[in-house]
């Protein structure tokens, strides 16, 4: 069984592309994976443990659970903020919890992803291959566009894809 050190986990976050406002779904999936890896994602899906009422006496275990959740929430929030470019970091730094931050990002950028779906469709249908570049290089660009279709859960009939690619071939 391999043990993962904090240094190793930190290096994984270093490899994450910083979110610049584009392709939110991809960044969100990578961030989700990393937060699960460091066991911090639970603060986004689980509510904070409740404070005891004045008439109740809280057990030490409940106090520790709440304090641990608070600490993990701050770490999770920090990881999410650290995964952003400075301009977005500055815009979202004041959000208090990781869950609020995650939800605000989803509300803002999932809507923009709908427009990016339109952009991807247009990019595929407007793409033209040229003579001056390698066919394989251009094919890989088309494949990359089509991979983004699947990332956005867009379906395109195989016959249409093949026909479109043939139409995109240069005259030579």
Kindly report the number of other CB atoms within 10 A of residue 3's CB atom.
Answer: 5
Give the separation between CA 87 and CA 33, rounded to whole angstroms: 24
Instruction: Give whole-number Cα distances, 106 to 22, 49, 83, 126, 166, in Å.
Output: 12, 24, 15, 29, 37
Question: What is the predicted pLDDT for the residue at 164?
Answer: 85
* pLDDT, greater one: 157 or 7: 157
| Longest CA–CA separation in the chain, Å | 84
Kindly report the number of other CB atoms within 10 A of residue 162's CB atom.
Answer: 10
Contact 123, 145 (CB under 8 A): yes
Contact 6, 15 (CB under 8 A): no
So where are the chain's domains? 6-112, 127-172
pLDDT, tens only, 108-136:
887 666 566 777 787 888 888 888 888 88
Question: What is the predicted pLDDT for the residue at 114?
Answer: 59
In terms of Cα–Cα distance, which of 109, 106, 46 is closest to 73? 46
Q: What is the pTM of this model?
A: 0.62
Question: pLDDT band for position 155 (50/70/90)?
Answer: confident
**DSSP three-state, residue 83:** coil
Percent of the chain with pLDDT over 90: 37
In terms of Cα–Cα distance, which of 6, 28, 5 is closest to 17? 28
Q: Does the pLDDT of residue 10 top 60, yes or no? A: no
* pLDDT, greater one: 13 or 63: 63
Q: Does the pLDDT of residue 100 top 60, yes or no? A: yes
């Amino acid at each position: 069984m391999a043990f993962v050190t904090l240094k190793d986990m930190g290096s994984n976050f270093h490899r994450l592309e910083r979110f610049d406002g584009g392709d939110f779904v991809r960044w969100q999936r990578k961030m989700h994976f990393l937060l699960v890896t460091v066991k911090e994602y639970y603060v986004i899906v689980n509510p904070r443990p409740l404070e005891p009422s004045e008439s109740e006496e809280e057990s030490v275990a409940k106090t520790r659970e709440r304090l641990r959740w608070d600490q993990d929430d701050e770490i999770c929030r920090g990881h999410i903020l650290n995964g952003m470019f400075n301009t977005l970091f500055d815009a979202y730094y004041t959000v208090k919890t990781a869950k609020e931050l995650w939800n605000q990002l989803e509300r803002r950028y999932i809507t923009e992803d709908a427009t990016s779906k339109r952009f991807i469709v247009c990019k595929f249908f407007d793409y033209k291959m040229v003579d001056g570049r390698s066919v394989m290089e251009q094919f890989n660009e088309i494949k990359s566009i089509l991979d983004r279709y699947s990332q956005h859960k867009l379906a395109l009939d195989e016959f249409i894809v093949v026909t479109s690619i043939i139409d995109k071939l240069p005259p030579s």
